[in-house]
Every structure is written in structure tokens, then in C-alpha cells.
Structure 1
């Protein structure tokens, strides 16, 4: 039994941000019913596939963020389907959607309508620019994706090499961070309802979330009055805190503490540098020259040699490929690679596990992602059977 096994979630989301949020709830034991538009979630057909896209029910994208959910297919433009949805709302705890502002209202299924059917309902939305209910802006109603949020929220401006262009982060943080924050908001609303009996509206915007995510850039602008920009893998206020090329790869070293700096200098055989630059301010002011000294040293060592020299004394780690991650015993000991069935393929696939660990109710993926409309009869019961007979 998961920590949220008493909750039913109606998941109207698609693509990434919304499904990742409801995936977290499902991993924690919530009964998540994915209500898909006719034809299903847009990303069901997205690659990669194990072998044959025609034979397999969905690709890795859909599998990863929809594991452990149920699926029914509903068309809100159809009166019977709309009534089926409202019957589910009456018994649900949470509704989550990530449509553009105003979309649910077109079907008379917005927050105000749904709370007429269930006054204790927690209604949550993830949108590019938030919802007018919590702060109206001219951007609401515009479509948004991760790339848009990263661009507007300052992430791209501070990501990349100094002499390179603005660069998005590899993972879709505009979606994923927003999803995690929305999940926190939902759980806070659940706790509030436990105390008061009141449901409420939870709204998380991607643009807003990226401002929170760029945290450091916001206070730098306020304190210094100048906009921070790209500086590769280094840190604006700490040194050494960077990636260094070795003979066979890259290793990161985070030795900004004086004790760590002294250990690095000893490993380099350059105790004189520790004496000459004893404070963090000294090292930061002379970072370019000191980086050259360190880079010349690391270039003569392999990743393993460098890590063996510093590990346990200084925060250090190799820059790993996913292939190396799959081979890391730490990852397996922490259950961070989870096998699930891939319908239509001849083998299981592995997806990322849940990083939240709990002593009594540890979250975990609870089976593969659903086939489209796989759980109609289970979720709708007699209503589904009547529709099938008709």
C-alpha cells in the first residue's frame, strides 16, 4: 500500500509535465485514472521503441511517465462521455489537467462546475503561463512547451559555454520541475482538506516555475544589478567548481571549501597554491589562472586515476554516460532502474525509478503504462457495459 492509496486522481494531462506529476502520485500509491482524448495521449506514438513501432503499444516516452496508471478514452464533446466523466468526478479526490486556460470551460467542465458535483475536490492545472484565477496576464491562452519556458524563464541565458549561444538543459526541466512543484501543491491541498474539509484550486505555471528554478540568477540580478549569463560548467561565486578534461573523459571537481582546496593542492603537489590563495575570495579572483593549473594536471590523468586520487577527500565524480549509469552498482542498489513490460515487444524495458525513499511506504513504479482505454470496464463499471451493449 502506498502513502496515497486512499486517493483517486483523474488525470486529464498529456505529453510530459502533467503526466510526470500524476506519475509521482501513482508511484506513491494513488489510483490514477488517465482520461485520454479520442486517439489517446499525443505521445503514445513517440519513439523510441524496442523493435517494431507497429507492433508495440507505445514508445518509451509514454511508458516512462504513465507507468502504473489506468486508461479510459472519453470525448468531452459527447454527452454520454461527459456524463461518465462527471460521475467519476463525484467520487474523485483530485483532477489534474494541463490544457490551455479556458479549454475545460468550453465543455462546461471548469473548476467551478466540477466543484458543484464534488465540493471537496482538489482541481489542479499545469499551464505555460498559469491560470487567470490566480493572476491574469496577457500570455494566458498561449501554447507553451519546455523550450518556451526555459527561454522565458532565464534558464537558457545562463546555460552553455561563455562564447556559445543560449542553450536549453538536456532534460525538460520546464516540464519536470513544474510537475514536481505541482505535485507538492496537490499534496499541500490534500493536507489542508484533511484539516478543514475544503477542496481548492492548485495552479502551477511553467514560466513561473522556471523563475523559481533559476533562483540564483534572480538574486544575482537584484544584488548586483547586472544580468548573469553563460559561463560553462563553472559557478559564478565558487571555485574550483567545474568540469575538467582528463585523458579519457571529463570529471567534475567541487572543491570550493578551503579544506577541499588544500586537498586538491596536495594531490597536485602544489601546496604553494594553497598558501598563496588561502581564501575563497582569493581563489575566485584568480580563477582563470588556477583553472589552467588544474586543467594541466587533470589532462595527464585518466578519469579513474583522478577520482582514485581525490575520492573521499574532495567532492569528485566522473561525467557519466547513460551506459555507465546502467553499470553503476549504486543505481541498482537504490532501485533506480525498474523493469516493466513493453506490450508488443519480446522483452521488458527499464525506466527510471522513484528517488523518494520512505521507511514504510516507499514510492515505486506500479507496473507498465496502460493500453488506450484498457480500464474502461473497471473504472466505469455498469456504465461501460451498457455503452458496449448499445
Structure 2
């Protein structure tokens, strides 16, 4: 494991994010902001974010305060417990929102309003607030949907947004994408939208209501199927491991696994591939000269390439093709840990885990800035670990906090120190 690079406060240092989100979509959005240096205050109910208990737990973790799921997407955040159903709970959120720059939540429409925490109420308190909502089907403020009240999770967004419809074996059933793209795609769009509104605020002095629907985000990311249908009138189906517009472009067998190879649409990559294959005549053959020609003969071309790759190991193919045509092996998680590129880029980072006497590893954010140190990585918070410190920081006295605790409005560890998506209601 690479030594962590020197840390810096990060380019978003000075921004405060009030994170009222749960599961993956909202926390992934605020994780991106936290990784870039924002102060993120993760607000949880007394029973905690549902992902705390989902694991996986490392061997020897007798504490089990949280597992890998929670650790990965809630790192670099401060944690506090606020119960919105108890007297004074909503008032705590209003006090925090009064000085926050960004608020992120992923409840269904109307939930925050029932607690007196809707955008209009908070904007009246803090006109500079950028209120960011990630919902399954968007918010009625930006466009009323007939299904806006439906709950949603990753699999629903993947299915409805068209991703599953083109994923899987050709002429076969749809296949779910492995990672939670139905959550992480809207999370990234929401982070961009929130930062765009912060930039606009520098000019206008006013915040914005930023809305990202999970369904919408997946449609936007699957943009190719939209123009394909518009231009050709044919709905794309499962594509297998090939590409409908480029050839050869996809996965090919090796003798010990699979590799990705993309000798298209640039025709010169096809010529280079043919030379490496020892078949230079194919590179000048009129039947395969241009990408459109190869797409028309896709089965034939894929057979030629696959027959050649299948007789070689992934390492042999890397030696022959690496640096010449777009190429890469199909990695497993195990092989990622040995990858020299990821080591050089500090993409796998060690972080402390409560209850363990050794660090664990999480995937770092991919954004890098030339000429400066990167923000560090701190472990995810224990449930309510920073409640008292955060409340004192926004003006509550010790007596105020004691009253809120007695009413059940706040909870978590009674300490003044600072420690290191889905939509439901």
C-alpha cells in the first residue's frame, strides 16, 4: 500500500455541508464534497443510518460500530444525532442550516416539509443556503412527476433509466450493473449542481434549490440509447460485451481471464492491432478498413480477434498491446490491490476503523490537483460522535445541550472533542 500523500485542507475548505441523507446516493454526494475539504456534518436519527448495520465487518471487529459500507461513503465527516420527531429536533437543524452553505437530503417529497425543514422555510432563515435534494423521481418544485411519491433504490433507477435494458448478453435477459450506479450517478450530478449553485451565489448572493432525480440521472448517463432511438427508430437491447457503433470494442477472452480492447473507432488502432496479431493484411483489407465496415461484419471481426487473444494470457496481451491500442485486463478486487497504477495514484487508502487494531482500505476519490497536496482521509464517525462539539460550535450552551438530550432531540457521545441513496422516508 502506498504511503498517503501529504494532506491539505482541500479546495472546498471553508464550506459547511449539512448532510441529512441516508443510504448511498446522498452520502456519496457529500463524501465527494468532504473529500475535497468541505466540513460535512452528517445528521443521523438515534438508530443511525441504515447502512451502519449492513457490514461487511472485518474479522476481529468486536465493536461493530459500522461496517465497510458506512465507512467508505461517510469518511471525512463529523457525526451528530438529531431526532426530528422530538421537540427541539427540527430547531437544531434550523440552527445548523442558518450558517451552512449546502444542505443535502434524499427523502421523498414532503418529508422535510412535515418537519418544518423545507427549502422555503430554511431559505427564509439563510438565503445563501444551497438546498440539494436527491429523490427517486425528482422534486415537484422543478417538475411534477406522476410517480414522484414512489420510493426508489439503485436497482429501480437502473431499471427505469435504461441501464439494465442494454446490459447483459445479447438477446438475453437484462443484467444489473455491479456497482450502485443508480445511486452514485445522481450523487455526482448533485455534487456538480450544488457547487454550480455555490458559484452562482458568489455573483447573486443567493442560494438555490438543486434537484436531481435518480431516474433522470441514469437516463442522462445512458444518453446513447436516446439518440440511437431518435435517429434510427430502433430501441437498443442488451449489448453483451460488444459496442453497437464501434468494432472491435469490448471484452475478449484470454487464456486466463478476459481483457478489454478498443481498436475503434480510430482506424489506425485497428491497423496497429492487426500488425501485433501478425495479420497486417487485415489492416488494409477493404472489408475492414473503416469502423463502419467492421461494425457491419462485427461477428466476423470479433471472432478473428477473440481467437487470437484466447491463445494468450492477460500478461502476454498486456506486453503486446499495452501502450499501442486502448487495452486493459479485467481486474478483480484482489488484483486492484496489486496494481502499480493505483499505488502510484494513491487510489487505495488506509483508514482507521474503530474496534480494530489495524487500518482498513477504502477507494479514494479520483480528483487530483497539480502542484498541491491532496485532502487527507479520516475515518467515518461513530454514531453521534460530534454532537456536542457541533452544537457548541453553533452557539448552544452546555445547559441547552443537556435539555435537548433530556428531551431526546439529540444524542450520541457526550463529548466536546472533534474526531477524526437511495430514497425512503
Map 1:46-85 → 2, pairs under 5 A: 46-52=54-60, 54-85=62-93
1:159 matched to 2:167? The reply is yes
> Given that residues 354 and 364 in structure 1 are in contact (C-alpha distance below 8 angstroms), is that contact kept between their aligned partners in structure 2?
no
Map 1:225-374 → 2, pairs under 5 A: 225-256=233-264, 257-276=266-285, 277-359=288-370, 363-374=374-385
Aligned equivalent of 2:396, options 383, 387, 390: 383
Equivalent residue, structure 1, for 2:411: none
Measured in 2, the distance between the counterparts of 1:174 and 1:150 equals 5
SS of the residue 1:185 aligns to: helix
Larger % of helix: which?
1
Measured in 1, the distance between the counterparts of 2:190 and 2:147 equals 20
Deviations 1:148-188 (A, max 9, x none): 00100000000011132101111111100100000000000
After TM superposition, give the deviation of residue 111 of structure 1 in Å.
0.5
Equivalent residue, structure 2, for 1:36: 44
Q: What is the TM-score when the length of structure 2 is the normalising length?
A: 0.89
After TM superposition, give the deviation of residue 271 of structure 1 in Å.
2.1
> Given that residues 56 and 345 in structure 1 are in contact (C-alpha distance below 8 angstroms), is that contact kept between their aligned partners in structure 2?
no
> Given that residues 171 and 237 in structure 2 are in contact (C-alpha distance below 8 angstroms), is that contact kept between their aligned partners in structure 1?
no
Deviations 1:294-324 (A, max 9, x none): 1111111111111211122111111111111
> Given that residues 61 and 356 in structure 2 are in contact (C-alpha distance below 8 angstroms), is that contact kept between their aligned partners in structure 1?
no
> Given that residues 356 and 363 in structure 1 are in contact (C-alpha distance below 8 angstroms), is that contact kept between their aligned partners in structure 2?
no
Deviations 1:208-259 (A, max 9, x none): 0011010111110100011001121111110010211111111111101221
Q: What is the TM-score when the length of structure 1 is the normalising length?
A: 0.97
After TM superposition, give the deviation of residue 359 of structure 1 in Å.
2.5
SS of the residue 2:17 aligns to: strand
1:11 matched to 2:19? The reply is yes
> Given that residues 47 and 59 in structure 1 are in contact (C-alpha distance below 8 angstroms), is that contact kept between their aligned partners in structure 2?
yes
> Given that residues 247 and 301 in structure 2 are in contact (C-alpha distance below 8 angstroms), is that contact kept between their aligned partners in structure 1?
no
After TM superposition, give the deviation of residue 115 of structure 1 in Å.
1.2
Deviations 1:354-385 (A, max 9, x none): 10001356654530000011001110016362
> Given that residues 34 and 71 in structure 1 are in contact (C-alpha distance below 8 angstroms), is that contact kept between their aligned partners in structure 2?
yes
> Given that residues 259 and 328 in structure 2 are in contact (C-alpha distance below 8 angstroms), is that contact kept between their aligned partners in structure 1?
yes
**Bigger shift: residues 145-154 or 289-298:** 289-298
1:216 matched to 2:229? The reply is no
After TM superposition, give the deviation of residue 9 of structure 1 in Å.
0.8
RMSD: 1.4
> Given that residues 354 and 365 in structure 1 are in contact (C-alpha distance below 8 angstroms), is that contact kept between their aligned partners in structure 2?
no
Measured in 2, the distance between the counterparts of 1:111 and 1:62 equals 27
SS of the residue 2:18 aligns to: strand
Aligned residues: 390
Deviations 1:325-357 (A, max 9, x none): 110111011110111111012211010111000
Measured in 2, the distance between the counterparts of 1:59 and 1:361 equals 32
SS of the residue 2:98 aligns to: helix
Measured in 2, the distance between the counterparts of 1:85 and 1:384 equals 16
> Given that residues 18 and 97 in structure 1 are in contact (C-alpha distance below 8 angstroms), is that contact kept between their aligned partners in structure 2?
yes
Higher relative contact order, chain-length normalized (CA < 8 Å, sep 6+): 2
SS of the residue 1:119 aligns to: coil
Unaligned runs of 5+ in 2: 1-8, 407-425
> Given that residues 21 and 106 in structure 2 are in contact (C-alpha distance below 8 angstroms), is that contact kept between their aligned partners in structure 1?
yes
Measured in 2, the distance between the counterparts of 1:169 and 1:66 equals 23
**Bigger shift: residues 297-306 or 94-103:** 297-306
**Bigger shift: residues 153-162 or 308-317:** 308-317
Measured in 1, the distance between the counterparts of 2:311 and 2:124 equals 70
> Given that residues 336 and 355 in structure 1 are in contact (C-alpha distance below 8 angstroms), is that contact kept between their aligned partners in structure 2?
yes
After TM superposition, give the deviation of residue 273 of structure 1 in Å.
1.7
